[in-house]
Amino acid sequence: MMRALYSGVSGLKTHQTKMDVIGNNIANVNTTAFKSQSITFSELMYQTTQAASGANTQTGKAGTNARQIGLGVKSGAITASVETSGSSQSTGNPFDIKLTGNSFFIVSDGSSNFFTRDGSFYVDGQGNLAMSSNGYTVQGWGVNNGKIVRDTVSPLRIMSSDNMKYPPEATTQAHVSGIVDKNDTSVSSEAGKIISISFFDNRGYSYTAKLSMKATAAEGQYTVELTDILDSKGNAIDKTNIKLGSVRNVAESKKLSLANGCSINGTTLTYLDEAGQNQTMDLSGNLTDAQKKILAESYGFTSYDEMAKLYVAGADGTVTTLGAHLDGGTFAQVINAADGSIATDGKQITGGVIQYNTATGEIQSVNGLTNNLNLVLDFGDQPGSAFENITIDFSPSSNYNNNGTSTISGDYGDVYGKGTGRKLGEMTGISIQPDGMIYAAYDNGMTKLLGQIAVASFANPSGLQKEGDNLYSATLNSGQFDGIGMDVTSDGGYMTTGVLEMSNVDLSSEFTEMITTQRGFQANSRIITVSDTLLEELVNLKR
């Protein structure tokens, strides 16, 4: 009788545990990437009142089975259906990622690694890809020389200062293509046929070179001359102007000239004016941070303390550069034209001769050199060293009668699109590929590999231990994480962005289980009720 009571109690406890599991499943029906759990029951133990016996061949008596009475039930195993994927939920967020396959994202709290199927990520204040719910950083592999380095996983800092911009590059190649017709009035005019070629300097600023193509007296020969360079605002670029905040202009009556190589000791210059009177000029002045930056970037000038150059400019803009030794801590006064600027001319190409084969119309030479099809736009010692020499390929062009119409035009880059140069790129977006590769896009048309999201795979995913916050940790029965991880495509999986994995809880199954659990609980409670009634009858026998 007492055994029945205890069996009923054990039945109530196990069904209560099952109800707890069902309740947790239903509570997490909308939890991202939640994996439902199930519970099994097993017999508690048995009391053997008689052991089994074998048959006796001598007496002919048959054997008997053991007589055992069960003592109740216990919880067998509580397992999570980790390998069953939930449905997809579209979010449109590029940092929301759904994993297809049996692998897990790797995240870290800074000291330990955890694993999750919850791909709701965001970029934190440090530029790291992190979990939205708890801020744990997503782990992956970094990039070296444009290639993924599959080593120990580390946080993916995808929006570092280095990644926010893509460096500019100067244009080094250009090409001129199309038809040039000597009967074209623009080719035979004094100004010539204007060919415009856009290009970039190594700081990413855009310019337009204007080339004038003119027909010569010789058949099939044309001259090409650089006539102008315009900046992005259409202003002509023929000299470098740098304004200094501490420029002091000299009055017209105070003109002087110094021979090249003149040495100036100290910071005061004494000279005779037109009346023969001694006059002094202060050649010192403080160099502001802004001036230092201009001089360093445009002229490579970095020696502010020991040596500087004295620029003497006349009203016509010509510049004479004289050596000037300074005692230290000062910068030479700039004696300049009325606009307060330094003007230093750079070298530019003046022109070249292009010869076409009159029979075929194809280009034959440039500057009289056979098989030399390139003309170099040479900026020489332009003070602002941002410009690079540009090689212009004329070979795609041809010369023949086209009813007086020339279609010749120029473009940056060679015919294969190389050497185009580019402006400074600002990041415009980030994309995550199915293999976890993370790329940044920039407004100069370039892309950059930022890293790759690593995943972890386990021999027994159901052996992982739940840690809350949609996290799991490795156990002895799940298999250990090697610290490196794997490519998600290694086991046939992939990542989908803008989508999250939903809970895999099946409400219809849970409600069915709830009904059977309720009935099981009621039945076990009846065991206790009936056993109590029998005990009551037994007690009443004394009466």
pLDDT in tens, the chain (543 residues): 688 888 999 999 999 999 999 999 999 999 999 999 999 999 988 888 888 888 888 888 898 888 888 889 999 999 999 989 999 999 999 999 999 999 999 999 999 999 999 999 999 999 999 999 999 999 999 999 999 999 999 999 999 999 999 999 999 999 999 999 888 889 888 888 999 999 998 888 898 989 999 988 888 888 888 888 888 888 887 544 333 333 333 333 333 444 444 444 445 555 555 566 666 655 555 445 554 555 555 444 444 443 344 444 444 444 444 443 333 333 333 333 334 343 334 444 456 888 888 888 888 888 777 666 777 776 654 444 566 788 888 888 888 888 888 899 999 888 888 999 999 999 999 999 999 999 999 999 999 999 999 999 999 999 999 999 999 999 999 999 999 999 999 989 999 999 999 999 999 999 999 999 999 999 999 999 998 888 888 888 876
Residue showing tokens 């037994």: 538
Tokens of 379: 């900026």
Contacts 24+ apart (CB under 8 A), 190-196: 192/223, 192/225, 193/406, 193/408, 194/227, 195/224, 195/408, 195/409, 195/410, 196/409, 196/410
Chain centroid, CA 28 distance in Å: 35
Q: Of 436, 327, 457, 351, nearest to 95 (Cα)?
A: 436
Helices (H) and strands (E) in the chain, counts: 5, 40
What percent of the residues of the chain are helix, what percent strand, and what percent coil, each to the nearest 5? 15, 40, 45
Domain architecture of the chain: domains with CATH = 2-53+63-79+512-540 (no CATH), 88-157+429-440+450-501 (no CATH), 173-235+347-412 (2.60.98.20), 240-344 (no CATH)
Angle in degrees, CA 356, 357, 359, rounded to 5: 140
Cβ-contact 159, 172 below 8 angstroms? no
What pLDDT score does 446 carry? 95
The alpha carbon dihedral of 267, 269, 270, 274 has a sign of negative
Cα(468)–Cα(133) distance, rounded to whole angstroms? 11
Cα(19)–Cα(511) distance, rounded to whole angstroms? 11
What pLDDT score does 471 carry? 96
Strand ranges for 81-186 from DSSP E: 88-90, 97-100, 104-108, 113-116, 121-123, 129-131, 137-141, 143-144, 147-148, 154-155, 165-166, 173-180
Cα(301)–Cα(306) distance, rounded to whole angstroms? 12
What pLDDT score does 367 carry? 77
The number of residues in the chain equals 543
Tokens of 415: 């015919």
**3-state SS, one letter per residue, for 157-189:** ECCCHHHHEECCECCCEEEEEEEECCCCHHHHC
What pLDDT score does 395 carry? 86
What pLDDT score does 293 carry? 54
Angle in degrees, CA 135, 87, 103, rounded to 5: 55
Q: Of 23, 17, 69, 72, nearest to 40 (Cα)?
A: 17
Total-model pTM: 0.70
Residue 412: how many other CB atoms lie within 10 Å: 23
The alpha carbon dihedral of 314, 317, 320, 322 has a sign of positive
Identify any residues that bridge with 198 across adjacent strands, giving them in sequence order: 208
Tokens of 512: 């069915």
CA atoms lying within 13 Å on the CB side of residue 13: 13
Cβ-contact 52, 63 below 8 angstroms? yes
